[in-house]
Amino acid sequence: MDFSFNKQINRKNTRAVKWDLVKTLYGAEDVLPMWVADMDFQTPPAVTQALTERAKHGIFGYTFTDNALQDTITNWLSYKHDWDVKSSSIVYSPGVIVTLHMAMQTFTEVGDKVLIQTPVYPPFYDIIKKHDRELVKNQLVLDGDKYKIDFKDFENQLKQGVKAFILCNPHNPIGRVWTETELAEIVALCKQYNVLILSDEIHADLVFAPNKHIPIAKLDPSMTDNIITCMSPTKTFNLAGLQVSYAIVNDKQKREALEKTFHKQGLHILNTMGITALEAAYLEGKDWLVKLMEQLEENMNYVINQFANRKDVNVFKAEGTYLLWFDFRALNLSQEQLKIFLEKEAKVGLNDGASFGEEGTGFMRMNIACPLELVKDGTNRIISALDRRDSNK
Ligand SMILES: Cc1ncc(COP(=O)(O)O)c(C=O)c1O
C-alpha cells in the first residue's frame, strides 16, 4: 500500500504550532519550519477512517477505557518491544509531560534532587523546577561522533542523595538509543542508590535498525517496581493533538498513588478521539510504521550525506527519533548570531540547541519528519547560506 510519505499537505490555517506560528517565532512567513516534534505526514489511513467513523456518530460524551483497550496496548508492547506487561499496570494520561508532572508530585518532595541527562528535552527542566525540586545534571559527553554517558559522574550525582532520575530513551535531542549495557548500568546504579526511574520512552517505536529499543523496566525484575515508563502512540503515529498516552507502573502501591494524583487534578478521563486513534493505530498501523521508518531513514541519510564533507557543520546520525542534532560550533558564532544566521540567511526554523540546556550552545535540532522534498529544501537552504557566508569572507 502507498502511504504517500511524499505528498506535501498544506497545514497552514489548521492552528498547527509548526506552520501557523512561523511568523510569530521566526519573524517571516518564508522560513521553512523544521522544529516542533510532530510530522507533516498523515496518520495511517486506518486511523483517519476510525476517527471519521467515530466523528460521524456525532455524540462525544464521556468515554471509559476497557479491557480490550488494555489488551491492545499490552499486545503492542509485546509485538514492538518484546515486553510483557500486566494489563493492570496501565495508567492513562493525556500526555507524557502530564504524567511526569504527576509523578513528580506523587513520588518526590519539595527540595528533593532530581537528575536529568543534558542536553535534553526542555520540559524536563520545567517539570523539576516548577515543583521546587532541585535539578541535578549528568552531562552527556561527546566521544568522537557519539554521545556517551559519564557513569562516574552519574554515580557521583546519585551518591549526593538523588530521589528520582528522568531517563529519556531514545534521547531527544541527540538521537541516542541507549544500549542494553548502558541501561543495565543505569538500573544497577539506581538500584544501589534507591533512585526512582521515570523513563520517558515516547520515541520508543521510532528506532532505526540495527538499533533496538529496550524498555528499561524489562532489564532487572527486582527494579521493575521502581520504574515508571511513559509511552504513547502520539509520536509514532502523529497524533500529538489528540492527547493520549499511558504509563506502565508495575508496583500496585505506586500505581494507586499516581492514579490518586491524577484524580486530585481532575485528569482521569481520556479524550474520546484519542482512545479511538490509539486503538486503530496499534491494531492497524504496523505496516504504515515500517514504511514510515524507511522514509525517515532516507530523509536522514540525505541530510547526512549532504553535510558529510563539510568542515563547518557536523550532523549526528540518529539511532532513533526523527530529530537530527546539528553541531555548528565550528562557525564560531554566538548562539544569537547562529539563530539569526539560520532564520534570516538560511530561512529555516530549527530548534535552538541552547533550549535543551547550556550544553546545546552551538547546536540546533532539525525535524526531518516531512516529505523528502522539504528535507532537501531545508538542507539546501542551510548549505547555500553557508556557501554565501564563505564567499563573503
Ligand atoms: C522526550 C519527549 N517526551 C515527551 C514529549 C511530549 O509528550 P506529550 O505530548 O505526550 O506530553 C516529547 C515531544 O516532543 C518528547 O520529545
- Ligand 1 pocket test, pick from 91, 97, 232 with the greatest ligand atom count within 8 Å of Cβ, gives 97
Express as a percent the part of the chain with pLDDT over 90: 96
- Whether 17-43+286-391 shares its CATH topology with 61-284 is answered no
Question: Is-contact 108 114, C-beta < 8 A?
Answer: yes
CATH number for domain 17-43+286-391, candidates 1.10.287.3510, 3.40.50.1220, 3.90.1150.10, 3.30.160.70: 3.90.1150.10
Whose C-alpha lies nearest to ligand 1, atom 9? 95
Distance CA 174, CA 172 (A): 5
* Structure confidence at residue 222 as a pLDDT band (50, 70, 90): very high
- Report the pLDDT averaged over residues 213-237: 97
C-alpha cell of 36? 516542533
Domain locations in the chain? 17-43+286-391, 61-284
> In the 8-state DSSP scheme, what is residue 316?
P
Nearest atom in ligand 1 to 98's CA? 11
pLDDT of 3 higher than 80: no
Q: 97 CA to middle of ligand 1, Å? A: 6
| pTM recorded for the entire structure | 0.97
Question: DSSP alpha helices (H): ranges in 37-122?
Answer: 45-57, 67-81, 96-107
Nearest atom in ligand 1 to 234's CA? 10
Determine the pLDDT at residue 332: 97
Q: How far is CA 18 from the centre of its chain?
A: 16
Determine the pLDDT at residue 391: 87
Q: What is the mean pLDDT of the chain?
A: 97
Determine the pLDDT at residue 179: 98
Whose C-alpha lies nearest to ligand 1, atom 13? 37
Nearest atom in ligand 1 to 245's CA? 10
Q: 40 CA to middle of ligand 1, Å? A: 17
Nearest atom in ligand 1 to 171's CA? 1
Determine the pLDDT at residue 1: 64
- Ligand 1 pocket test, pick from 17, 93, 96 with the greatest ligand atom count within 8 Å of Cβ, gives 96
3-state secondary structure 217-249: HHCCCCCHHHEEEEECCCCCCCCHHHCCEEEEE
- Report the pLDDT averaged over residues 298-326: 97
Tell me how crowded residue 319 is: count the other CB atoms within 10 A of its CB.
21
Nearest atom in ligand 1 to 99's CA? 11
Q: 385 CA to middle of ligand 1, Å? A: 31
Residue type, 240: A
pLDDT of 306 higher than 80: yes
- Report the pLDDT averaged over residues 50-74: 97
Question: Is-contact 203 173, C-beta < 8 A?
Answer: no
Ligand 1 proximal residues by C-beta, below 6 Å:
37, 95-97, 121, 168, 172, 200, 202, 232, 234, 240, 245
Determine the pLDDT at residue 118: 98
pLDDT tens per residue across span 257-267:
999 999 999 99
Query: 61-284 in CATH: which number?
Result: 3.40.640.10
Determine the pLDDT at residue 269: 87
Q: Which residues face 33 on adjacent strands?
A: 349
pLDDT tens per residue across span 337-356:
999 999 999 999 999 999 99
pLDDT tens per residue across span 104-119:
999 999 999 999 999 9
- Ligand 1 pocket test, pick from 17, 34, 116, 172 with the greatest ligand atom count within 8 Å of Cβ, gives 172
Q: 331 CA to middle of ligand 1, Å? A: 30
Backbone angles phi, psi at 312, to 5 degrees: -90, -15
pLDDT of 190 higher than 80: yes
Residue 166 host element (H or E): strand 162-168
Nearest atom in ligand 1 to 38's CA? 14
pLDDT of 221 higher than 80: yes
- Report the pLDDT averaged over residues 299-326: 97
Q: How far is CA 178 from the centre of its chain?
A: 14
pLDDT of 2 higher than 80: no
